[in-house]
Amino acid sequence: MCVGKTDTYKGETIIISAVTGDFCPACAESILDAAESERVMCEMQTFSKKQIKKWLQL
């Protein structure tokens, strides 16, 4: 199944599109293969680094 993944970090939201894996509608857990997991984690890390830089400039 392919879905968009939404995550929130310190009040800021990121949407990662076209996440492919197995998803549980009851608990929102997901199981991704190694390549997809790496892609999602890289996007989340990039997002959090941008947010940290933004907050340090305040």
* Digit-coded pLDDT (tens) for 21-42: 999 989 989 999 999 999 999 9
Q: Identify the domain containing residue 40 by its residue range.
A: 2-56
Mean of all residue pLDDT scores within the chain: 84
Tokens of 40: 């999602």
What local confidence, expressed as pLDDT, does residue 4 receive? 67
**Which candidate, 50, 56, 57, places its Cα nearest to that of 9?**
50
Q: How many domains, the chain? A: 1
| CB neighbourhood size of 21 (10 A) | 16
44: domain CATH number? Answer: 3.10.20.860
pLDDT the model gives residue 33: 96
Mean pLDDT of all residues in 7-21: 82
Classify burial at 7, counting beta carbons within 10 Å of its beta carbon; exposed 0-12, middle 13-18, buried 19 or more.
Answer: middle
pLDDT at 3: 63
